[in-house]
């Protein structure tokens, strides 16, 4: 059989190559792309571990701070069943509640679609909570017929942000030294690793972050922002699938703001650029962070509709 070209040293395809296309399948489009690829070529097991971490990023100096969650967040407690909400009792009905509902609904629909494609594998679920509020649902499907490993996780977290992290996240002046900042964060994150080496790995993450007033400035307004993205990392390139993936991302962005796709595509290209190798990791997608310069309801729909 003829081997397709390798993706080891690829760059992200230019926007001019992409044309919008429609997908009639009720399965989420990113799942459809991977499902099609898993059946077209010789399957081979491929074990690829994945991890997650908090990242605070500023566009001004491109400096990134990694903050270990365990430092400022309470220890997890395993739960035997899913609660209706992980929010604190006083927070029903606001943007936090709406975002939590949307990511939990998205987790259910994505997991159902993955199981429908795999047919043999089933997700195992772990539910956890924290005494002061917050928690999450972790789901993993492993050694299925199509997926080597698929993870779809949601979390709702309360904690205290160190002043250094707040300055990094909001590009605050070094002269401004707030006290510890109470924060809320919620998000959905997924990585899908097909067994077929000719099918790409897919990652997506969408999150909402909100800070309360600093402990030394009660009554100060809350800060909030959205972040996230979807990206594709193949071992072998199939141009038609790359075009399809990017066209779907563009259509999703264009529903909200025509500038989103070119802006977030470039952001993704830059974010995954490996300087010492002079190449980009994967075939790109979209990426955005610290997004709060549009109507909050619009951004809520955008972040949960992708």
- Most confident stretch, 33-47, 202-216, 245-259, 265-279: 245-259
Q: What gap in Å lies between CA 45 and CA 66, rounded to an integer?
A: 32
pLDDT of residue 70: 35
> What percent of the chain is modeled with pLDDT above 90?
54
Average pLDDT for residues 278-304, to the nearest whole number? 92
pLDDT of residue 203: 96
8: pLDDT strictly greater than 60:
no
CA count, 13 A, side-chain hemisphere, 157: 23
92: pLDDT strictly greater than 90:
no
144: pLDDT strictly greater than 80:
yes
Average pLDDT for residues 153-161, to the nearest whole number? 92
Q: List residues with catalytic annotation.
A: 203
231: pLDDT strictly greater than 60:
yes
Q: What gap in Å lies between CA 283 and CA 299, rounded to an integer?
A: 25
> Using an 8 Å Cβ cutoff, are 192 and 114 in contact?
yes
Q: Domains of the chain, with CATH numbers? A: 25-305 (3.40.1500.10)
Q: What gap in Å lies between CA 303 and CA 258, rounded to an integer?
A: 15
Q: What gap in Å lies between CA 71 and CA 172, rounded to an integer?
A: 22
212: pLDDT strictly greater than 60:
yes
Instruction: Quickly state the pLDDT bin for 120 (edges 50, 70, 90).
Output: very high
47: pLDDT strictly greater than 90:
no
pTM: 0.72
Q: Which residues contact 295 (CB under 8 A, 6 or more apart)?
A: none
């Amino acid at each position: 059989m003829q081997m397709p070209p390798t993706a080891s040293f690829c760059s992200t395809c230019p926007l001019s190559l992409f044309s919008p296309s429609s997908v009639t399948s009720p399965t989420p489009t990113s799942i459809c792309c991977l499902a099609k690829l898993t059946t077209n070529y010789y399957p081979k097991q491929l074990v690829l571990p994945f991890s997650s971490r908090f990242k605070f990023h500023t566009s001004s100096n491109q400096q990134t701070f990694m903050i270990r969650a365990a430092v400022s967040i309470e220890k997890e407690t395993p739960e035997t069943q899913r609660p209706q909400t992980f929010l604190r009792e006083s927070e029903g009905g606001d943007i936090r509640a709406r975002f939590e509902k949307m990511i939990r609904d998205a987790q259910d629909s994505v997991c159902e679609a993955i199981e429908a494609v795999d047919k043999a594998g089933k997700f195992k679920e772990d539910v956890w909570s924290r005494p002061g509020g917050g928690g999450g649902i972790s789901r993993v499907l492993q050694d299925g017929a199509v997926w080597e490993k698929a993870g779809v996780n949601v979390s709702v977290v309360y904690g205290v942000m160190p002043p250094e992290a707040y300055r990094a996240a909001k590009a605050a002046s070094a002269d401004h030294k707030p006290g510890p900042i109470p924060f809320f964060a919620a998000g959905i994150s997924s990585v899908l690793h097909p067994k077929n080496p000719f099918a790409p790995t897919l990652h997506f993450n969408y999150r909402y972050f909100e800070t309360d007033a600093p402990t030394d400035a009660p009554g100060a307004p809350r800060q909030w922002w959205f972040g996230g993205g979807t990206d594709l990392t193949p071992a072998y390139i199939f141009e038609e699938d790359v075009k399809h993936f990017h066209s779907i991302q563009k259509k999703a962005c264009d529903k909200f703001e025509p500038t989103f796709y070119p802006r977030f595509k470039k952001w993704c290209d830059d974010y995954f650029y490996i300087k010492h190798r002079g190449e980009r990791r994967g075939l790109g997608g979209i990426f955005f962070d610290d997004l709060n310069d549009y109507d909050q309801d619009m951004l809520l729909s955008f972040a949960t509709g992708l």
